[in-house]
Structure formats: C-alpha cells, structure tokens
C-alpha cells in the first residue's frame, strides 16, 4: 500500500498500523483464494469438435478471405460462374430466369488472390445490399469434386473498427493521461481473462459461479490497482466490489432458480444447447449476470471510497458517523443516476425484441413474464440490488480505514505507514491534506 501522508491542522496524520494490517491481510488472503480458484478451475487441454453449422465441407473451421465488389448489376440469375473462380467475365446463364442482384467480387487474399467470383443475391430480408467498392469477407470452401467455392460472409470492418478504437484510446489517454493508459491496459487484461480462462473453463464444463467469481476477482485486482494505484483507498473499493460481486452471484442464482429462466429464448443460447450439450445454459446466464455487474460496481465503489477519504481529510475532527453520512449522500445521488444507466443499457439492447412483441398483440403481462424479457428484468434487478448495497458496504469499509478504530490520532487519506513512536511530534503549518 502506498504511504502518502500530509499535514493537517494538527500535523502529520497517519493511518493506524492495526487498520493497515487488517486490510492488507484481507486483500492478500482473498487474492490467494482467487489464485487457488484459478489453479483448480483452469480448463483442461481437451479439444471440442467444431459444431456442424460452423464447419467447412471438409469438417474443419471455415476459412474467410478478403474481397472487393468491383461490379454490381441486376440481371438474370443462374450463371455457372456463381461462387466459382474465374479470371475474365462471368459466364452468362444458359436460359433467362428471374432477375437478381449480380455482384462480381475480386478476391484479394488466399490461394486465388487476383481472380474473381460471382455472387447472385435474390432480394429479400436479411440479404446483403452490396455496392461497387464495398470491402467484404468471403467464405472459401470446396465442393465434393474438390473445386473451390466462395460465398458471402460479412462486410469487412477491420479498418473502421481499428480507427474508432484508436480514437477512443487517444481521447482517453489525452484526457486521463497515465491513468487513462493504465485503464486501457486493464481492459486488455480483462479481454485476456475472458478469452483465455472464462470461456474455455465454461466450455470445459466447470461450474459457472466459481468460474465467474474467480474471473471477476482476477479482473478486479488488476484493473483497480492498475488504474487507481496501490493504496488503502483502492483497497477499500476492491473489498467493497468483491463483496458486492459475491452478493450479485448469490442473488443471480436464487432469482434464476425462482423465476425458472432457461435462456432458450435467445438464438445464441439455443445454438449452444444444441451443439454444445455439456455446457449449461443456466450457467452461462449466471456467469453473464456476474461479469456484467463488474463495470458498474467498479464505478460506484471507487467513487464512494474516494468520497469517504476526501471527506475525512477535509475535516479531521469529524466523527466516523458524520463522514459516513456525508459519503452516503454522495452515494445516493450516484445510485439514482447509475440505476438509470443500468436499466437503459439493457432496455436498449432489447429494443428489437420489444418491437416484435409490440406488434404481436400479446398482453403486457405475457410480454414481461416471457423468458426473453424476464431475463433482462432479472439482470437489471440483480445489478441494481448489488449496486445499491455496494454503496454502504464500500463506504463503511472506507470510513473504517479513514477513521481507524483504536487509533488515538485522527486518520486521513491513503497511507499504511505506522507511526514510529506512540507520540508523533506535531508540526505547525497550513492545512495540506494527503492525496491518493
């Protein structure tokens, strides 16, 4: 923990050694528990067969290549060149048939780079609206005779996505400086935990709640200390967030059991249940609830910890009760605004579903209690409960550290350095409070 200290009205002010030992011991013990869980739950190296819809003709993973639409027209369908590789112009259809959109694609990567292929797309919902100059991804496969076939996969979004991510990173670093850079590094670590541990462990059939808690614990330890520094202030936010995350896990389990949510109303979950039978859909829901709560909990707890420490340093003579009450006033405002953010985020993601229900003629009760909408209601409610309770939890921990019990002196901002003697000499001077 950092040992920053400053000059208050009565001289140098330090956190009591007992409080420091307790918080450091608790943080270390929980960290060891998270690492032990990581070792126990680490996924095995067993391989899982690629589900049939995601296989190519040879049974392997689908391969995509880069392509560009070089010509777009409307004409008769049925050309033998559809999906085939050619160098000049596509072969016209042998007989006139219905018209469709004909797109000549230049293949830019892979063994057939520099050649062309033809896509014939009938108009209709869900069909791509290709235009000349569009950059796309095409699936490369082989037919039973071994000939190469190409089909549309998706639009190529590599450069636009990279551009917006770079702008995001530049803005964050420009405004938040080194702290912003550390926050971005925390995001990279979060992504690595999800890809390298969380998903493989769930795919390995490990229990969802322990996996999500261990993954969340690892993320919180690294993200909080990396972004906000190693201090008692950050440690109080960490302990409050871990407690709220555990609470969210218990609430998620209880509510999913009580409401009998299946998750099978979502197409992705249905595909998982069909092709990955050993993976629990309920477990996926639980893990999603727990991991989804981390961001908003982190935001609230670090704010509460900072508020408690700052209030304690502003008035060294204020009692714990007064500091707690003042910090809670800040927390109530934060809860009111963050609950809206939480619910609106989930509602925004469910807008297409709500739009379909609005024209289905079903009663409001049926819509709200249906599996698809009930999942979002439960997710919002669990997140809101954990969010609301995280405020007093974190505030209480922070106040206990900012005003440690059994300490004869008044405590202030982040420090773990114990006094060298029982009676530290007072220093005169203007007020100067410590910072984290």
Only one residue has tokens 């963050």, namely 338
Can you tell me the mean pLDDT for 387-407? 79
Residue 429 predicted with pLDDT over 90 = no
- Whether the CB-CB separation of 138 and 67 falls below 8 Å is answered with yes
Q: What is the pLDDT of residue 222?
A: 93
Can you tell me the mean pLDDT for 223-231? 87
Q: What is the pLDDT of residue 94?
A: 83
Measured CA to CA, the distance from residue 124 to residue 118 in angstroms comes to 19
Q: What is the pLDDT of residue 420?
A: 40
CA gyration radius, the chain? 29
Measured CA to CA, the distance from residue 136 to residue 150 in angstroms comes to 12
Q: pTM to 2 decimals?
A: 0.74
Sign of the four-CA dihedral 191, 193, 195, 201 = negative
Q: What is the pLDDT of residue 421?
A: 40
- Whether the CB-CB separation of 238 and 221 falls below 8 Å is answered with yes
Measured CA to CA, the distance from residue 364 to residue 373 in angstroms comes to 11
Secondary element (H or E) of residue 8? strand 7-8
Measured CA to CA, the distance from residue 397 to residue 402 in angstroms comes to 9
Measure the N-to-C terminal CA separation of the chain; round to a whole number of Å: 11
Listed residue (322, 336, 326) closest to 306, CA to CA? 326
Measured CA to CA, the distance from residue 262 to residue 432 in angstroms comes to 57
- Whether the CB-CB separation of 406 and 20 falls below 8 Å is answered with no
Measured CA to CA, the distance from residue 238 to residue 391 in angstroms comes to 12
**DSSP one-letter string for 55-69:** B-TTSSB-EEEEEEE
Q: Where are the domains of the chain?
A: 7-44+177-402, 58-156
Measured CA to CA, the distance from residue 350 to residue 436 in angstroms comes to 40
> What is the rounded average pLDDT for all residues in the chain?
80
Per-residue pLDDT reduced to its tens digit, 238-260: 999 999 899 888 988 898 888 88
Q: What is the pLDDT of residue 168?
A: 95
- Whether the CB-CB separation of 412 and 310 falls below 8 Å is answered with no
121 forms beta bridges with: 101
Residue 186 predicted with pLDDT over 50 = yes
Residues 6+ away with beta carbon under 8 Å from 371: 261, 262, 263, 264, 265
Secondary element (H or E) of residue 194? none
Pairing mode, if any, of strands 11-12 and 63-76?
unpaired
- Whether the CB-CB separation of 240 and 397 falls below 8 Å is answered with yes
Q: How confident is the model at residue 353 (pLDDT cuts 50, 70, 90)?
A: confident
């Amino acid at each position: 923990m950092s040992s920053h200290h400053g000059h208050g009205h009565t001289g140098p002010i330090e956190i009591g050694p007992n409080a420091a030992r307790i918080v450091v011991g608790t943080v270390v013990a929980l960290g060891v528990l998270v690492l032990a869980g990581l070792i126990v739950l680490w996924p095995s190296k067993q391989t899982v067969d690629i589900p049939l819809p995601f296989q190519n003709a040879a049974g392997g993973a689908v391969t995509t290549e880069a392509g560009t639409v070089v010509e777009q027209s409307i004409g008769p369908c049925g050309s033998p060149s559809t999906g085939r590789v050619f160098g000049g112009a596509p072969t016209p259809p042998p007989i006139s048939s219905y018209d469709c959109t004909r797109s000549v694609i230049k293949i830019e990567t892979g063994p057939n780079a520099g050649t062309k292929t033809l896509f014939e797309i009938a108009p209709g919902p869900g069909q791509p609206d290709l235009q000349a100059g569009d950059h796309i991804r095409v699936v490369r496969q082989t037919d039973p005779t071994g000939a190469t076939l190409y089909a549309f996969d998706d639009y190529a979004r590599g450069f636009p996505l990279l551009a917006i991510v770079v702008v995001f990173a530049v803005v964050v670093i420009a405004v938040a400086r080194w702290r912003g850079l550390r926050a971005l590094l925390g995001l990279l670590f979060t992504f690595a935990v999800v890809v390298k541990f969380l998903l493989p462990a769930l795919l390995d059939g490990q229990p969802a709640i322990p996996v999500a808690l261990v993954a969340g614990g690892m993320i919180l330890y690294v993200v909080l200390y990396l972004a906000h520094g190693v201090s008692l202030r950050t440690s109080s936010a960490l302990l409050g967030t871990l407690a709220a995350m555990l609470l969210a896990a218990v609430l998620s389990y209880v509510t999913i059991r009580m409401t009998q949510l299946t998750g099978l109303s979502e197409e992705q979950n249905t595909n998982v249940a069909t092709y990955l039978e050993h993976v629990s859909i309920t477990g996926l829901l639980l893990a999603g609830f727990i991991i989804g709560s981390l961001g908003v909990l982190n935001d609230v707890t670090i704010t509460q910890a900072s508020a408690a420490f700052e209030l304690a340093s502003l008035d060294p003579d204020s009692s714990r009760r007064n500091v707690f009450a003042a910090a809670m006033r800040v927390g109530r405002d934060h809860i009111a605004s963050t609950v809206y953010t939480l619910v609106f985020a989930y509602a925004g993601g469910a807008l297409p579903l709500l739009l379909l229900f609005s024209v289905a003629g079903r009663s409001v009760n049926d819509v709200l209690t249906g599996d698809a909408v009930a999942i979002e209601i439960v997710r919002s409610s669990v997140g809101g409960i954990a969010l609301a309770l995280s405020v007093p939890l974190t505030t209480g921990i922070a106040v206990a550290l900012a005003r440690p019990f059994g300490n004869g002196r008044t405590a202030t901002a982040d420090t773990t350095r114990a006094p060298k003697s029982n009676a530290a000499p007072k220093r005169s001077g203007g007020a100067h409070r410590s910072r984290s």
